[in-house]
Amino acid sequence: MSTKQGFAIGELPKGARNAITDVEGVHVGHVTLADGHIQTGVTAIRIGNENPFHVRARAAVQVFNGFGKSAGLMQIEELGELETPILLTNTLSVGAVTEGVVEYMCAKTQEIGREAGTVNACVFECNDGFINDIRGFHVRPHHVWEALANAGPEFKQGAVGAGRGMSAFGLKGGIGSASRIVKVGKRDYTLGVMVLSNMGRLPDFIMAGKEMGDKLQPLVEEREHGPEKGSIIMIVGTDLPLSERQLKRVARRTSVGLARTGSFLGHGSGDIALAFTTSDPVRTQSRARTMTVEQIDERRIDRVFRATAEATEEAILNSMLYAETVSGRNNHTRYALSELLSSLEGK
C-alpha cells in the first residue's frame, strides 16, 4: 500500500479513494479560514442521509491521553451512539462549533428540547495556536452549517478545514485519510480513517519504517526542544457489523498506527479515537421493545485491527504529505513535508 509519495504502508488493499469516504454514506466537508494570522477552520463528517438524531450510528470513544477539551464524549461512552455529525476544529472554538451543530440539529429536528430530550453534539479539537490567532475566536457557528453543506465523498486533505493551522512532528500537519478493504468470509467490507494531526517531535518522526528526524531537522529553521505537545484526533468509520464493545477495541488499535509514526503519546498531548459503524444503526423512532445487534465473530477480528493500524499510519502521513507550508501568527511557519523531501532528493 502506498501513500501520496509512494511509501509502502501495510499489506491490505485500499479503497477506491483511499479515504474514509470509501465507506458508503460517509461524507466530509471543510471550511478553511486562511488570512494572515487567521489560519484555522472546521471539518465535518456526515454519516448517511437520514437525520442522525433518529438514525444513530453505533460508536465508541477511546481516550489515550486526556489532555483535551472535546465535547460529547461522555454520552457516547455511556450509550454507544452518535446523534449528530462529527465536527473538528481548534481548541478555543469548541464552544462556537457546539453551538453551530446544536442549532443545525434543532433546525432539522423539531422535537429536540420539547417532546424529546436535548442533543449531544460531538466536537473534537486540537490546539492550532502556534500558527493561528486562536484567541481571536474566528470560527463561528455558521461555519458548521457551511462545512456540512460542503460535505461529499471527495474532499481535500492537508492544511484545510480544522487542519489549516495544525502541526505534526514540528512540520505542517492537518487532515489526512486512508482506507482498507477487509474480507470476512466471502464479503468485502471497508474501513476508513481520518485524522486531525497536531502532535509529535521532529527528532522522533518515522516515515514508513524509516527514521527521518535527523535528516529533516537541518532543513527546518526552528529547532524545538522539550516534551511532546499537541494532539491527534483519529476517526475510524466502517461498514463492518461491530458492537459498541467491538468498536472500542477497534478504536484502541489506532494507537498502533500512531506509534509507528514516532509519537509516544506524551503528557501534553490529547490523543483520542472514535470508531463508528454504518451497519445496523439504532433507530430511535422504532417501537420495538428489544433489538438484535449483529457483530463480527471475534475470532475473525484481527484483520480489522490490522486495517485500523495500517489506515491510521497512512492517514497521519497523508495529513503531512498533502499539506503545504503555512505561515501565520507572528510569522510562525510550519514547513511542508513534501517540500522537505524534495529538497533531500535534490541533494
CATH code of the domain in which 225 resides: 3.60.70.12
pLDDT in tens, 54-104: 999 999 999 999 999 999 999 999 999 999 999 999 999 999 999 999 999
Give, as one character, the DSSP assignment of residue 8: B
Domain count, the chain: 1
Greatest CA separation for the chain: 68
Between 275 and 228, name the one with better pLDDT: 275
With beta carbons less than 8 A apart as the criterion, state whether 42 and 88 touch.
Answer: yes
Q: What is the pLDDT of residue 73?
A: 98
In a domain, 3, yes or no: no
Single pTM value for the model:
0.96
Active-site residue list: 231, 269, 271
In a domain, 306, yes or no: yes
Sign of CA dihedral 203, 205, 210, 212: negative
Q: Which residues pair with 71 in a beta bridge?
A: 123
pLDDT in tens, 279-307: 999 999 888 888 888 899 999 999 999 99
Burial (0-12, 13-18, 19+ Cβ within 10 Å), 91: middle
Query: What is the span of the domain harbouring residue 264?
Result: 20-283+291-346
pLDDT in tens, 133-190: 999 999 999 999 999 999 999 999 999 999 999 999 999 999 999 999 999 989 999 9
In a domain, 11, yes or no: no
In a domain, 10, yes or no: no
In a domain, 167, yes or no: yes
- The residue behind cell 482506507 is 179
Cell of 178: 486512508
- Give the three-class secondary structure for 11: coil
Mean local confidence (pLDDT), 236-247: 97
Percent pLDDT > 90 in the chain is 86
Residues contacting 226, CB < 8 A, separation 6+: none
Q: How confident is the model at residue 1 (pLDDT cuts 50, 70, 90)?
A: very low
With beta carbons less than 8 A apart as the criterion, state whether 52 and 38 touch.
Answer: no
Burial (0-12, 13-18, 19+ Cβ within 10 Å), 140: middle
Cell of 179: 482506507
In a domain, 95, yes or no: yes
In a domain, 94, yes or no: yes
Q: What is the pLDDT of residue 20?
A: 98
In a domain, 186, yes or no: yes
